[in-house]
Amino acid sequence: MHHQHSDTLPFPDFASSVPEPDRASLARLSSDEIRAWTLRKSDEYRLLSYTMLSLHNAAAPIHTLHTELLVKIFGQTWKDWRSVHLTSVCRRWRSVYLSTPQFWAAAVSGLTFFYYDGTVMAGREDVRPVTAALLERSSPCLIKAKIMGPERPDELHPLSSLPVELSLHSYRISSLQLYVDSRLLHDLPRLLETSTPALETLDIYGGDEDA
């Protein structure tokens, strides 16, 4: 009887690739019914395939490590902006990475905040749309920040506040690099005193002189 189902399959060329229970179901369907049935079944098998791959990944040796140890490892894996792709390896890695503030603090240290147009760059990529999320995920770690001032003399304005996204986390800034014209710095002591209580290192680059 099993062979009969295979022989009566509307498209017998596929019989060897179709599981026997499915062949039995298909043998009783019209062409229109086959189209609807195979769509439903393909979604079912697709989900099963994803589950099998997840089980395969879950059996990898690294997944036997405790989450606390993974956090310590993952906290040291940021190299450049491409490191973001590590969060997409699997669901567990993503969950651990999102709970590893050291990783995101390293990401923040690679950003450049442009004071006057609000741009936030990671290399050549403008990442302002995700900057707030990066800063939130880096909490409560201390962070390093780099701020670029205006490039033209006619843009001179006092440096009286930090860029908006950064100002919300200024209490966590331990290292600050400023690239600004020296004529902008008269408000800097007050700004640092009120906004950056954790500051340990300050580098100022202005004009032809570095401080």
Q: What is the pLDDT of residues 49-95, one digit of tens each?
A: 988 988 887 788 888 889 999 999 999 999 999 999 999 988 889 99
Please check whether residues 98 and 148 belong to one and the same domain. Answer: yes
| Burial environment of residue 7 by CB neighbours within 10 A (0 to 12, 13 to 18, 19 or more) | exposed
* pLDDT of the residue at 4: 43
Please check whether residues 97 and 48 belong to one and the same domain. Answer: no
- Residue bearing tokens 């580098």: 203
Domain interval for residue 48? 2-58
pLDDT band at 45, cuts 50/70/90? confident
Q: In what order do the strands lie in the sheet with 173-179?
A: 125-126, 120-122, 112-114, 143-148, 173-179, 201-206, 209-210
Please check whether residues 10 and 83 belong to one and the same domain. Answer: no
SS3 readout for the chain: CHHHHHHCCCCHHHHHHCCHHHHHHHCCCCHHHHHHHHHHHHHHHHHHHHHHHHHHHHCCHHHHCCHHHHHHHHCCCCCCHHHHHHHHCCHHHHHHHHCCHHHHHHHHHCCEEECCCCCEEECCEECHHHHHHHHHHHCCCCEEEEEECCCCHHHCCCCCCCCHHHHCCHHHEEEEEEECCHHHHHHHHHHHHHHCCCCCEEEEEECCEEC
Mean pLDDT over each residue of the chain, to the nearest integer = 84
% pLDDT > 70, the chain: 87
Please check whether residues 137 and 191 belong to one and the same domain. Answer: yes
* pLDDT of the residue at 211: 47
* pLDDT of the residue at 134: 96
Over 70: is that where the pLDDT of 210 sits? no
Please check whether residues 83 and 155 belong to one and the same domain. Answer: yes
* Structural domain count of the chain: 2
Over 90: is that where the pLDDT of 109 sits? yes
Please check whether residues 31 and 98 belong to one and the same domain. Answer: no
Q: Mean pLDDT, to the nearest integer, of 3-21?
A: 65
Please check whether residues 121 and 200 belong to one and the same domain. Answer: yes
Higher pLDDT, 85 or 18: 85
* pLDDT of the residue at 32: 86
Least confident of 96-105, 108-117, 146-155: 146-155
Please check whether residues 74 and 30 belong to one and the same domain. Answer: no
Please check whether residues 165 and 131 belong to one and the same domain. Answer: yes
Please check whether residues 154 and 192 belong to one and the same domain. Answer: yes
pLDDT band at 1, cuts 50/70/90? very low
Please check whether residues 131 and 52 belong to one and the same domain. Answer: no
Least confident of 50-59, 121-130, 174-183, 184-193: 184-193
Please check whether residues 102 and 158 belong to one and the same domain. Answer: yes
pLDDT digits (tens, 9 = 90+) for 121-171: 988 888 989 999 999 999 999 999 999 876 555 555 656 678 888 989 999
